[in-house]
Every structure is written in C-alpha cells, then in structure tokens.
Amino acid sequence: MISLLGLTLQVAAEAPQVAIRYYADINCLKCDAFAALLPGYQEHYNADFGVVGVDIMNSENRRELEQRLRQYGQDYRTFPVVFVGNNAYQGISAIEQHFPRELEHVLETGTYRPQLAPEQTLASAPRPPQDQPPSAAYADGAGHTPMLQYFWMEGCPACARAAVFLDELEQRFPALEIDRLEVSQNRDNFARYRETARGRDIDAGAVPAFFLPGRHWIGFNQNIAVEIAEAVQTGLAGGWIDPHPAGSGFAQQQIELPLFGSISLANTPAFAVTAAIAAVDGFNPCSLWVLTFLIGLIIRTGSRRRTMAVGLAFLTVTATVYGLFILGLFTVFAAAGGLLSVRIIVAVLAVAMGLVNMKDYFAYKVGFSLTIPQRLQPAIARMGRGVFDRSGNPLAMLAMTMLFALGISVIELPCTAGFPIIWSQYVAASGISGGTFAALLALYLLVYLSIEIAVVVVSVVFMQRLAFGESHARVLKLSAGSIMVALGIAYLGIPQLTRTMSGVAWIFGSALVLSALIMITSHVIGRSSLASS
C-alpha cells in the first residue's frame, strides 16, 4: 500500500517495485490528474509504486529539483516532474507518454530504461487517427474533457470581470474543467503561461488569457465572453475543431528580419510602445544639455568633420552603455518573472519619477530633482574642454571624447533611467525574448539615437550650437513626466491598454493633452497675475 497526495493504492505482494519521486504543485489540476492515473497503471501493470511526493512550491524543494535535474542533464522547464529509474520527465504530456514505457521495460527486463538524452524525454505530438472523433483527439491522457486554461494576475480589473464570467460558465457547463493560474505571484504558473503561448506561436504578453483546444483569447470583453461560451458549447458537443488554423490569423503571422530572425506581428503594440518611449527618452534634457554643450565647444574649431566625428563618437559610446544598462534591467526583470510585487514597484517608481519631473516645470531644480547635480557641472565642463584642447590631434580628441562619454553615461543615469526601467519591465512582463527582444532593443536605441543624431547634423550643417535652455528643459520635463505618470498608472491598473495600438495611442495622447493643458493654464494664470499687479 502506498499513499500519494492522500491517494491510497493497494498492491499485490509479488508486484515489481517501481520507485517514483514526484514533484508537483498540489493545487495544480493537471498534477492531480496524473495522480489519478496511478491506480489504473498499478492495476494494468501489476506494479508496486514506491512514491515520494514533493511540494514544488516550497523553495528548498524547488532548488533540490533543479539540482537533481542537472544530474540528469536537464534544465527545469515545467511541472509536474517525475523521476523514475534513470530518467526524469517534465510536464503531464511527457509523463503520460513515457511513464507506461518505463513500466513495460521493468516488467520485460526487470530493470529501468537506460538514461535517455534530454530531448528524448520530451513529449511528441503524433496526429490522432483520422477516424478518431475531434473530442477524443483533444482529450487528455485520463480521458477527461479538455480543460479551459485561464491565466490571470492579481490587481487586473479585466481578470476580475473574467472571473465572474468563468464562475457563470462553470455553472452553465458542469462538465467543463477550468484551470485558473495566477501568474504574478507564482513563477511556475508564469512559466506555464509562456510555454502554452509558445505552443500557439504567440507571446505571453497580457492577461487575462484563455486557452481551449485550437483556440485562444487574450484580454476580456463581452465579445470574447460570447466566443468562449460558444466554443465550449460546440466542443462539449464533440466538436473541438479549430476554426482558425494556425497561421491564418494576425497573431500567427511572422516576418523574417536579418540578424533578428522570425518576428511575430502579434508584438506590433510592443513595437509602438518601444518607439514612443524611445522618442520621448531621446528628448531627455540631461543628455541634450551635455550633447549641445560638447558640440558648442567643438564647433569653435571650425571643422565640420571633427564636429561630426566627436558627436557620433560621443553618441556611440553613450548608446552602447545605455544599451548594456537596459539589457541588465531586462535580465533582472525577466528573472523575476511576472511577479505582482515587481510590477507594483516599477509602476510606483514611474509615477513618482514622473511627478518629480512634472514638478520641475514649476520649480526647476528646486528641492529633489532628477537632473544632473549642479555640483557636477564644473567637472563636466572641464572634461568637455579636455576634448576641445585635443582637437588638434584627431585620435587624441576621439579618445578623450570616448572617456568623456563613459563618465557622462554614469553621471546621467539618475536623470535618464526612468524610461529604460519602465520599458525593460514592460518587455520582460510581456514574455518577449530572443530575436523579438533584440529587434525591440535595436529599435529603442535607433529612435533614441536618431533624435540626438539630428541635433548633431543640424549643428554641423549650420556650424552653430543649438540653444538648449531652461525653458526648453521645463517643457520636456513636463511632457516626459506626464507620460511616465500615464504609463505607471496604466501599467498597474489597466495593463491591457499597452497591448493594443489604440491603447498605446490613448496613453501617450492623454499624457500630452494633460501637458498642454497644464502649460496653457500656467500661462493664463501667469498673465493674469501680471495684469493684476
């Protein structure tokens, strides 16, 4: 007799012993489904299961699992995980496919299967026989009705509405299983969401998300609710058929880009968000002040070639450092997964930094301010003059420019870090990686650089430094601050806005309208004050 997660199995005394170590989330319906299969396996194969069940949600158990998998030449991918004999199998599909083979091998030879290569332990997906009904083709290994996988997040208003709909759906269709997986506080659920999304050739870019055989929906509204209910009704009647074959929809379309590979058009809103944030970031008062100051010094040499060389060298180094900084942020946020705590921290930080920037429109550099500290400006001036003093030697001038750019990149970070933090967390939480992330990062740096390159080109053409004073800085601070606040509020309270082109336009448009209203109101009040005095 053995016990697994409260399940008792009776075994014959002469049955062969099969040792199993099983890592699972006891709240996972799929994991429970596998446990329910064990009595059938025991009866069919007359095997004695020596089972040790381990809770994967315990951090120590999770570390133990990852270490054990490395001994088998595998990285952790998904749960449940079963160790039997010389092999480890991850995911319910792989377990259902390989576990019977392990039992058959023990019965036939008295030994476990030899250790398989990691790729051989994965589940294959053979096409069901043509005479098999669609409902059977999509049934799980236990013969159950296909479940509706529902991925959601704490603090998501759309998810709250979807939960009410799913409660009603369960009452309407008692035979339907719904697997509700919260992704912000459970990394395994987030990993499962990404794995499920990859299987549909989409990105795990938003919640709520619903998956049925052959169908998926991202977001929630009345139309989606109707479509899900109709799909469930049709499926339960024996028609789990995909009415939208893979590759037919916009979300499945791919484009091939040199260097970046295959890019999903489902990420179009992410490209729009990236371009918009980078454009605003490119008008950063701190970086523009330093750039125009340096260009103003080099223009005095009277050489367009040297002015262009210094400008491009400066921008290349600062963009490289900036790109590495963003990559580091993305790596940290991606490792954190979709944790709600991280999302809250970034959103609060965005709103706080935005409000500080908006404050600078009214009280520039008064009190706490995200600008280059006044005490550092003499040092920047000395470094800039060091570049000018070496203008007679092109190589020395470029070397000094690069050193200057490295120093400035560090000094500027408190002033310029806001938008990279927001963008990196947005991309990481969207489940974007690989070639798509590389393309997004390249787009960010290209848009960011193009604005400052334009400043250099205009300066070279007219051989005149572009004036960038406090009045310009105030306007840019107000606009950037408004956008930061709008992004922070949307990211925390209405994250689905960042997943559509219209939502992106609404966020940035509302922020710019707010900025314009503040400037107009301030101007009117200022004129009224002058008139009354």
CATH number of the domain to which 63 belongs: 3.40.30.10
- Which residue, 87, 121, 155, sits at the end of a domain? 121
Mean pLDDT to the nearest integer, 502-507: 77
For residue 424, count CB atoms less than 10 angstroms from its CB and return exposed for 0-12, middle for 13-18, buried for 19 or more: buried
Q: Are 264 and 429 in contact (CB under 8 A)?
A: no
Q: pLDDT tier at 146 (50, 70, 90 boundaries)?
A: low
Looking at 28-42, 339-353, 471-485, which range is the least confident one?
28-42
**Is 448 a residue whose pLDDT tops 60?**
yes
Domain of residue 21 covers 2-121
Percent of the chain predicted with pLDDT > 90:
2
In 129-168, the DSSP E strands lie at 148-152
Q: pTM for this structure?
A: 0.51
- Residue 263 maps to a domain: no
- Residue 105 maps to a domain: yes
> What's the confidence (pLDDT) of residue 260?
45
- Residue 286 maps to a domain: yes
> What's the confidence (pLDDT) of residue 461?
79
- Which residue, 121, 154, 179, sits at the end of a domain? 121
Provide the token pair at 148.
């509706």
Mean pLDDT to the nearest integer, 84-110: 84
- Residue 245 maps to a domain: yes
**Which of the pair, 188 or 26, is modelled with greater confidence?**
188
Both 111 and 167 in one domain: the answer is: no
Q: pLDDT tier at 389 (50, 70, 90 boundaries)?
A: low
**Which of the pair, 521 or 245, is modelled with greater confidence?**
521
Q: pLDDT tier at 500 (50, 70, 90 boundaries)?
A: low
> What's the confidence (pLDDT) of residue 210?
92
pLDDT in tens, 343-381: 788 888 888 888 888 888 888 777 777 776 677 767 776
Looking at 29-43, 414-428, 504-518, which range is the least confident one?
29-43
Looking at 86-90, 107-111, 443-447, 517-521, which range is the least confident one?
107-111
- Residue 135 maps to a domain: no
Both 115 and 244 in one domain: the answer is: no
CB count within 10 Å of CB 178 equals 16
The CA distance from 502 to 226, in Å, is 23
Both 285 and 335 in one domain: the answer is: yes
> What's the confidence (pLDDT) of residue 205?
61
- Residue 137 maps to a domain: no
**Is 238 a residue whose pLDDT tops 50?**
yes
Both 232 and 373 in one domain: the answer is: no
Both 215 and 321 in one domain: the answer is: no
> What's the confidence (pLDDT) of residue 83?
92
- Residue 167 maps to a domain: yes
Mean pLDDT to the nearest integer, 394-410: 77
Both 330 and 439 in one domain: the answer is: yes
> What's the confidence (pLDDT) of residue 142?
39
Buried/exposed code over 244-262 (b: 16+ C-beta within 10 A; e: otherwise): eeeeeeebbeeeeeeebee
The secondary structure element, H or E, covering residue 24 is: strand 17-24
Structural domain count of the chain: 3
Percent of the chain predicted with pLDDT > 70:
72
Provide the token pair at 31.
């994991």
> What's the confidence (pLDDT) of residue 6?
45
Mean pLDDT to the nearest integer, 118-123: 74
For residue 159, count CB atoms less than 10 angstroms from its CB and return exposed for 0-12, middle for 13-18, buried for 19 or more: buried
Both 91 and 208 in one domain: the answer is: no
Q: pLDDT tier at 247 (50, 70, 90 boundaries)?
A: very low
Q: Are 46 and 40 in contact (CB under 8 A)?
A: no
> What's the confidence (pLDDT) of residue 426?
79
CB count within 10 Å of CB 47 equals 22
Both 273 and 246 in one domain: the answer is: no
CA angle 230, 234, 235 (to 5 degrees): 115
Q: pLDDT tier at 25 (50, 70, 90 boundaries)?
A: low
- Which residue, 193, 221, 250, sits at the end of a domain? 250
Provide the token pair at 212.
């049925």
Please report, in angstroms and rounded to a whole number, the separation of the first and last CA atoms in the chain.
94
- Residue 129 maps to a domain: no
In this structure, the strands spanning 2-4 and 17-24 are: unpaired
> What's the confidence (pLDDT) of residue 356?
86
Q: pLDDT tier at 532 (50, 70, 90 boundaries)?
A: low
Both 285 and 395 in one domain: the answer is: yes
Looking at 116-130, 143-157, 213-227, which range is the least confident one?
116-130
For residue 140, count CB atoms less than 10 angstroms from its CB and return exposed for 0-12, middle for 13-18, buried for 19 or more: middle
Mean pLDDT to the nearest integer, 401-420: 77
